[in-house]
Structure 1
Amino acid sequence: MKIKDMCLCALFAVLIGIGAFIKVPVSIVPITLQTLFVILASLILRQKAIYSVLLYVCMGLIGLPVFTSGGGISYVLIPSFGYLIGFIISSWFVGRYQNTNHISLFLRSCIGLAMIYIIGMLYFIFIQYVYYGQVFSISWIFTSLCLVYLPGDLLSILLSIVIYKRIEYSLPQYIMQSNT
């Protein structure tokens, strides 16, 4: 990996961390800008985006307070940790395709968002049941952990695509091509 790529991965790890602190408290999991930066990293860094998200998650797990509620290895017992796992899978999926057609970018980002939601909700159910002994109805989980966030996350996807397209058209071609 080139130094430029390492710097970009570190930059996006920091942006994802900053996005964790720009939050609106709703339901159990706050609304943050993390999804925006994960999708944006996936579009710009492509296949290298997973390193950026892994760096962010590792920073939090070693104790740096970069997650919405702090950090540390015990964070794996927080029901919302599944969304962080979803970020990793989503960045891998969204970043692996090269097509820059607007519709393709939107559809692949929406699939990545669905991955984040599915993994996040399944992890939430698992931790709540196994660790806390609580059971929630499927309708409550879907409403409280998905539908509440969907409009904002769809807006984040659209904003990521706009930013990506602006960057793609304004940067020299050799910079964007080196991310393939």
Structure 2
Amino acid sequence: MKPKDITLISLFAVLTFVSSYFILPIGPVPVTTQTFFIIVTGLLLKPFSACLTQIINIMLMCVFKSAFASPTFGFLLGFVVSATILSLLTYRKKNMLLMVVATMIASICIYLVGIPYFVATTHGKYTFITALSVTLTPFIIGDTIKAIMAIIVAKTLRPLVKEANSKKQ
């Protein structure tokens, strides 16, 4: 792995971690800007780098925020799946339609991992249907806006990342 890859992995891991502090507490699952950075990460980095970025983010969250003790920890696991799948789908081909569809698939992955974990760790407080009302429904519009913004930012940053990766060490 090249130093430039390590730098990008570190940068996006820290950006994702820091974004967890910008919260809007609307219920048992707060609104954060993390999904914005997950999408940017998946659209800009190679699949292994995108995956590693989110694993580092989880380690930071566990050390500094005790995230492993939260019913929302499953969403962090979903971040790893989401960023990796998004990168796998878009790393070689970067057309707008593919980016939009892949971003939707990646967003769904977060919920496919996070919601069952949330239900399992709340010990009967939420059924799967009631969990949807607190972990999915309030986030659809915000996640859509963040996804659109992330695609725009990634398209803007892609030439810079590509140029940095093409220069010799």
Q: TM-score, normalized by length of structure 1? A: 0.85
> In the alignment, what sits opposite 2:130?
140
Pairwise CA distance, 1:4: 0.5
Report the secondary structure of 1:163's partner residue.
helix
> In the alignment, what sits opposite 1:80?
72
Aligned mates of 2:158, 2:13 — CA distance in 1: 20
* Amino acid aligned to 1:138: F
Q: How many residues align?
A: 164
The one-character-per-residue Cα deviations of 1:133-162 (angstroms, maximum 9, x if unpaired) are: x24233321121101011111111111110
1:175 lines up with 2:164 in the alignment? yes
More helix by share: 2
Pairwise CA distance, 1:123: 0.2
1:128 touches 1:135 (CA, 8 Å); kept in 2?
yes
Q: Tell me the percent identity.
A: 24
1:50 lines up with 2:44 in the alignment? no
RMSD: 1.7
> In the alignment, what sits opposite 2:155?
165
1:152 lines up with 2:142 in the alignment? yes
The one-character-per-residue Cα deviations of 1:41-82 (angstroms, maximum 9, x if unpaired) are: 111113111111111111222x2x2xxxx22xxx32311000
2:4 touches 2:165 (CA, 8 Å); kept in 1?
no
Structure 2 segments unaligned to the other structure (5+ residues): none
> In the alignment, what sits opposite 2:32?
32
Structure 1 segments unaligned to the other structure (5+ residues): none
Pairwise CA distance, 1:95: 0.8
1:89 lines up with 2:81 in the alignment? yes
